[in-house]
Structure 1
Amino acid sequence: MKDIFLSIFKTTEERLKNPFIGTFIISFIVYNWKPLSVFFLSSQKIEQRITFISNNYTDILNLLIYPLVTSVIYIVLLPYLMWLFESLVFKSYKERNQNLYKNKLIDINGKKSVAESEIELENLKANYKEMADLNSQLQLYKDQVVTKDLDIKALEDKIHDFTQLTNNLESKIQEKDKSINNLYIQLEDSEIKTKNYYDEYENTPENTVRDFVNNLHLINKADKNESNTFFIDRFIALGLLQVVKDEKTRKEYIQITDKGLFYIKRAFSSRII
Structure 2
Amino acid sequence: MNLETEFTKRNKNTLQHYVKCIKTHFTLNVVKHFDQPQMKGILTAILDTSKDRLKNPFIGAFVISWVAINWKPIVTFLFSDKTVEKRIELIELNYESTWNILFLPLIIAGIYIIVLPYLMLIFDLISNNALKKRKENLFEHRFYDIQGRKKLAIGESELEDIKANYREKSDLNRKIEQLNNNIEKKNELIENLQSKVETLNKDYENLKRLSTDSMNLSFTLDEEKELNEEYAKFRDEDYSEYFTEVGSEVSQNNSIPSKIDKIIIEKYIYAGIIKKIIDKEEQSINYVFTRKGRYFWKEYVSGIRISKPNSGLRIDDGDELPF
- TM bucket (normalised to shorter chain) is 0.3 to 0.5
Q: TM-score when scaled to structure 2?
A: 0.36
Richer in helix (by share): 1
Q: Which has the larger radius of gyration?
A: 2
The higher-RCO structure (CA 8 Å, 6+ apart) is 1
What TM-score does the superposition give when structure 1 sets the normalisation length?
Answer: 0.42
